[in-house]
Structure 1
Amino acid sequence: MPIPRSQQVCLEDTPYYHCVARCVRRAFLCGQDPFTGVSYEHRRDWIEHRLLFLASVFSIDICAYAVMSNHLHVVLHIDEDTAKNWSPVEVLERWHKLHKGTLYTQQYVRGDQLPTYLQSLVETLAETYRSRLMDMSWFMKELNEPIARRANLEDKCSGHFWEGRFKSQALLDEAALVTCMAYVDLNPVRSGICDTPENSDFTSIKKRVTAIEGRFQSKALYPFVGNPRKDMPNGLPFKLKDYLELVDVTGRIIAGESKAVIDASLLPILQRLNILSENWICIVTEFETLTGSIVGNELSIDRYCATHHRKLNRKSTRLLA
């Protein structure tokens, strides 16, 4: 029986989550259908544009994403503190980018005078919207539903386009986070769509590499801010250079361009996170198969189990430790 989403998401454990949404029909999300020869490649742009737009509205950052032929991967960071600091007006302005709201919320944003009882009602409604704008399920709902409607209209059919429930995994520590991000960024390489990560269209790694060529980090994605330290700014706890090297070397191995052996001394990120280099390729190519609803090292798993009174399979723990 599936675990309720409310029990899977706990920001006290981790703000990082891996989400996967899959199509239910043989008709493709994007790419070319080998059976009919029809190309749905243009839908990749729909997905990427909507995904990056939502990141600008929600208090949820995108760490990694990959749009595949019949499914979508995204690694999210939920920024609860930022959402809590928004004023009611800012909350409503953001919500109105997604939905019209009500006559009263529109008047409140414009600064019109409202009776006290209506002002109180609108401010209560703003708190509801605030919680939605930092909610992973609402983020995925706002991503999937418009895409499903456009695809159904284009396919001239009705019914479900996505599976009824997207899959999510809690990433409890840095090792789980970097492994999942690399797994997502390398999806097109592993699937044989492209030979190198930087050539994989509609992925976060391509967007980051393109930005680097312009000597800046992509503003649409959660930034890399370096290894953990005192007074650390908000961002991914890795060096961008280390991560790109890790993905590049791993991608070449997966594509068969080099031997399936990684010299850990060449990849400081593996050393710092205590990830066994001989296990890395196995982990990053079979992440979903080898892991469950939570992912982390042994200490992280033990802490999670003690807090939530759960007993879990430890196969992923041994790989990440």
Structure 2
Amino acid sequence: MKKITVLFLAIAFGIMACDTNTDKQTSSHLLKVTAEEQGHIYLDGQYTGYTTPAKFKVSKGEHVISVTAEASKQYLRQELTISEDTELHLTMQDVPEPKVWKALWVGVQEVTGNSVDGQCSSSFSQEELDAGFDFFQWSIDNQFHPFSYNTTKWEVERVDITTPIELHKASNTWFTLEPESITELLPEVKPGNYDAVFVFWRESDGDCSFKSSYFGLAWTDPINDPIKTGYITIKFDAGDDINKNINWYKENDPGVWVHEWLHTVGENYFQDCGERLPEKGGDGLVLHAAEKYKYTYPWMDWYADFMSGRVKDLGAGNTYCGIGPEAFLKYTVRESALSQ
């Protein structure tokens, strides 16, 4: 009985193998992709390694073919069924509606805490808060939108808190503003309202210093946090001239805002959505793996490739990972919070 079963399976497998070989001869077709702007070509949301114009084999069936237009930083896409050799030309008529992402920017006028020199406070003037907010908006325009090829459209609200907030002392030298300190004053920060909350406060003021070795901190698993919202706290050294210090960052380390935000979506969130992102760095954080993938300071190419899904896999040939424009069109943190 066992011999008959094995023979039957062998015959069946042989038939299936023949059918499979036959299918392979007819299951793919040549696709030629052109676009009115030169750009990178994606197949079903994954970067192919090709730039326009290009020809390559595509399996028959339904596909999303797309191009990230480099000059305009727009995303061109079409859904089509491949049943024969096909030529596809993408134009600006193929730009999809962007996905709305919502941010709350919180300017904290005064923080207090027990510094190494005793209890003291640090505060921003209204003009300094305005400068910090303009710096954030500059990053939205120069990194958040173009790195996603404008598949995201950030709607930003601003709230300034005039009530002094007590800093949380994480260690002898580390001070943070915890989410609970903000939600206590801003009850509108709750699941489904925002994709990210950015909190901006002053590191030092005169003899009062909360200086420590970080620019910003980000909570890395938003959906499993109580507020189900990306949370970023920025501790900014305004010095004697905040605009001078902001200009230093623009010229030397312009990605500081997008870096912190990417921690909120690039460590767990998009992985949980099914996207394949780079491997973790040595400290266990995905976003800190830039050097592992041969990127260099100030990491702007890393952020751009990370967001566009064009980080070349380590030792895996012509394959790529990252978030990608299709993922930005599908998901937002606040929608995920509501659906959960």
TM-score range (shorter-chain normalised) is: under 0.3
- Greater Rg by CA: 2
Give me the TM-score of the superposition, normalised by structure 2: 0.21
Question: Which structure has greater helix proportion?
Answer: 1
Relative contact order (C-alpha < 8 Å, sep 6+): which is higher? 1
Question: Which structure has greater strand proportion?
Answer: 2
Give me the TM-score of the superposition, normalised by structure 1: 0.22
